[in-house]
Structure 1
Amino acid sequence: MGETRNAGSFRDPSGTVFVAADGSILRSVNPVYRENYERFCSSGLRERLCCDGLLVPFREADELVEPGSFKTLKAEKIEFVSYPYEWSFGQLKDAALLTLEIQKTALEHNMMLKDASAYNVQFRRGRPVFIDLLSFETADDRPWSAYGQFCSHFLAPLALMAKRDAGFNAVMAEYLDGIPLELASKLLPWKSRFSPGLLFHIHLHAKMQRRHQDGRAAAEKTKRVRVSVGSKIAFAESLRSLVRSLKLPESKTEWGDYYSDTNYDDAAFAAKKELVAQTAEELRPRRVLDLGANTGVFSRLASRDGNLVVAADIDPVAVDRHYRFLKRGKIADVLPLRIDLANPSPAIGWDNRERDSFFSRCDFDLVMALALVHHLAITHNVPLPMIAGTLAGLGRTLLIEFVPKEDSQVRRLLSTREDIFPNYHADGFLAAFEPYFELRRRTLIPGTKRELFVFRKRGTDGAL
């Protein structure tokens, strides 16, 4: 049938994830999970979560994807898989609130989440959606077993982003099982202990974990604890109140305020927007990658007709502002992510295959790189031919801006360092990109010395 087993799906004995040829997700359900799955359906929880848009839409497939399994579930495709260490503060916060809403709803149906991993959430059509179809178990009088995981995967990184640095969730790439609470407790400012929620759920929680490092003793103690369903609902509500109270402080960063500190006048900026919009209209790409997207002004110009635009930027404040703008405007076609193009998300996890690298997930019809090349070439010392080779691997058509040395932004970059870039000029730029691309259009942005180039990757069909 052409299904491929997901390399990161091996930890849960309840079932295995496969990817179909059309990109849809297949989930085998093993006999060990049969009772919980049947209760999930008969309790009305499945219908409620799907109707409320909290769970990825799925159906039962006609054929089993794995011999010996009980059922196969076919979920709708996620257009672009992203990871918590690539999200903004607002995205991680909304994913946490989604998880708690699902836990509360499940408890109302006498079930509960057996895990609370941030990797159980993806963004689909502008909203977080829960994707682990086998995460539900019958609720009884045991404590919520996924509480510690929720704190490590959501609460700890959110608190550190709010209290220390907006980009702190990047550390989650180092801690795939969540940020250790003991580490979070040490890194949070002392005054965070004056927050009753953070004191209890992080600082005292970390202390309790240290005290009960002997897992056997802790397990025996947990077995004796009894918690009613009503108490677990109240507990989820208290966590939700705490998460909602966490806010990213308003801060100014170099890139978060980029558009208010450029050498464009209003007419030049409007002309650039018109050129980008015209190119996007002519190409009508289904999948767009905007590199160096900042707050997404140009990303949104490429958004149309239900396509997908991944808007990547290095600055966590800019990405979060973009996400909040999209959320307020109910714009569903754009996915903002925090990506450092000079150091993008690598392949990590077991055998380096649990989480795919950012570049390996990229297969776009149009790649936009506006006001970006000079930062890569001059700030990061990446040679133009290497930039061209990397961009050629991400998509088929490239819309790219070249900013010459005469531009004030480039002069500013060179003001504090030696100019060791003799080939950084328009002819050198074209020579670097020529082996990978065919030039289709070259346009001077009115009122500036900057130029927009449209390239088509060699060996691909299609014309501008």
Structure 2
Amino acid sequence: MDSINSNLQASSFRDPSGFLYWQDGELYRFVDDSYKENFEHLLDSGLWEQLLKQNLVVNHKEIDKYKIYKPDMLPFVSYPYEWSFSALKNAALLTLKIQKISLKYNMTLKDASAYNVQFIGSKPIFIDILSLEKYVEGTPWIAYKQFCQHFLAPLLLMSLKEYKLQSLLLSNIDGIPLDTTSNLLPKTTLLNFSILTHIHFNAFMQKSMQAMQDKPLKNNNNLKLSKNSLANLLTDLENIIKSLKLKDNKTVWADYYNIKNYDEDSFEYKKQLIREYLGLTQSETVVDLGANTGIFSKIANEAGKYVISCDMDYLAVENNYLQLKKEKNRKILPLIIDLCAPSPCIGWSCKERMSFFERTGNDKTVLALALIHHLRISNNVPVRKLAEFFAGICRELVIEFVPKEDSMVQKLLSTREDIFNDYSKEIFEQEFSNYFTIVKSSQIENSLRFLYLMERK
């Protein structure tokens, strides 16, 4: 047990029912004796078989019955504050679906954390099998408040107020507080019975309980909720979440490929070069930084790679996700990532949730297309710092250099003084050669741009 405890997964320490640990590079789930009765019911009732049949949960291979299980490895672990609106929405609907199915087998989710869901491409999947426990007739849903904080609150704020409020999930690891949500939502939501019930009323009750914390609490053992009433509650949550939409899904960057400054033949030649370069890379995973709506992520996917498709533009990532969901793509994961402020490590001891680049590691292939001129000119990052950065996050790099004469760079420079003396093709190659070997380079036909394939030294 001591050797297991020394290899615990950093985020797996809150649940007394069990934990995740690493052994010889493989992930295992340990089931505590205190959870055995619930686990037996999960397996013997047919619920686990049903959830697997519907492909709603990650499969676990039995190593030691009722004690140790080996979950299928995920291609990549992402977090709710990196998901698009529709991704978070689908994660919420998955959680509700599992709760509704579980009730039919006399089980219930004891927690409804968004971190219990992961994505394989565009498909959400539930990962925490120890979150299910035996249902006791008449008991309310213990995870109801957590569900509202992790899912309903951010979705309402993104839909009805401002989609960038999703970032509140980063500073609120336990979900957005209901009183904060109530204060931020438009006052017209008080006229919506479902929102009034799930958000405003619960926020009021929460404040009332805090105000009475010094007074003795009455026994709430008589508080009952029938299974039928609980099912109705879940249906109401499901209906309101399904009805939510973003007010606007148009963005300058989401339309970027329609305003590119080279013709279709040049664009096709660029695609051809990227296919060629990716065919020479070894990594099975590509991290596409500045992916926009994912055109080149799909080319990487066609080359047999699993792709983490990243952009800072919320709506570009949203449009990317919706298209991948429509195509039922399981090999491209769109995430909201700002390279100048990527997801940091957060939570207990700053280890509970790893930073984005801790999770990607430094052995992957990175795509950086039409990106570095933004980082240099818009964000004032020197070319030598860019070279150092990319050397720290990848083994192989497919990168595009866009010179100052390019119309897109000229547009960036039109509103500011050109103080970027280090931004030239020669200095770019010199600085990156300190960390990388340039394997191949080609000028994109009928353009001023160059594409490089580099390998870290």
TM range, smaller chain: over 0.9
Which region of structure 1 is more displaced relative to structure 2, 370-379 or 232-241?
Answer: 232-241
TM-score (norm 1): 0.93
Which region of structure 1 is more displaced relative to structure 2, 51-60 or 303-312?
Answer: 303-312
Q: Which residue of 2 aligns with 1:445?
A: 444
Residues 136 and 345 of structure 1, relative CA distance in 2, 3 Å threshold: same
SS at match of 2:454: strand
2:382/2:422 contact within 8 Å kept: no
2:319 is aligned with 1:317: no
Q: Which residue of 2 aligns with 1:405?
A: 404
Which of 113, 123, 127 aligns to 1:131? It is: 127
2:123/2:328 contact within 8 Å kept: no
Cα displacement (A) at 1:306: 5.4
Q: Which residue of 1 aligns with 2:62?
A: 60
Cα displacement (A) at 1:43: 1.0
2:106/2:134 contact within 8 Å kept: yes
* Aligned ranges 1:32-431 → 2 under 5 Å: 32-62=34-64, 71-140=67-136, 141-213=138-210, 214=212, 220=218, 222-283=220-281, 285-304=283-302, 307-363=305-361, 364-431=363-430
Which of 4, 12, 27 aligns to 1:9? It is: 12
Cα displacement (A) at 1:221: 5.4
SS at match of 1:55: coil
Cα displacement (A) at 1:172: 0.7
Partners of 1:160 and 1:90 lie apart in 2 by: 13
Q: RMSD of aligned C-alpha atoms?
A: 1.8
Unaligned runs of 5+ in 2: none
Cα displacement (A) at 1:220: 4.4
* Aligned ranges 1:446-461 → 2 under 5 Å: 446-458=445-457
Cα deviation per residue 1:75-124 (whole Å; 9 max; x = unaligned)? 00011100000000011000000000000000010110000000000012
Cα displacement (A) at 1:216: 8.8
Cα deviation per residue 1:318-349 (whole Å; 9 max; x = unaligned)? 00100010011111110000000111000111
2:293/2:320 contact within 8 Å kept: yes
Residues 125 and 422 of structure 1, relative CA distance in 2, 3 Å threshold: closer
SS at match of 1:250: coil
Which region of structure 1 is more displaced relative to structure 2, 358-367 or 114-123?
Answer: 358-367
Q: Percent identity?
A: 45
2:306/2:331 contact within 8 Å kept: yes
The amino acid that maps onto 1:103 is: Q
The amino acid that maps onto 2:16 is: P
Cα displacement (A) at 1:287: 0.6
> How many corresponding residue pairs?
451
1:212/1:218 contact within 8 Å kept: no
1:139/1:229 contact within 8 Å kept: no
1:403/1:410 contact within 8 Å kept: yes
Unaligned runs of 5+ in 1: 64-69, 459-464
2:61/2:70 contact within 8 Å kept: yes
Cα displacement (A) at 1:424: 0.4
Residues 328 and 217 of structure 1, relative CA distance in 2, 3 Å threshold: farther
1:273/1:298 contact within 8 Å kept: yes
Partners of 1:47 and 1:36 lie apart in 2 by: 15
Cα displacement (A) at 1:147: 0.3
SS at match of 1:294: coil
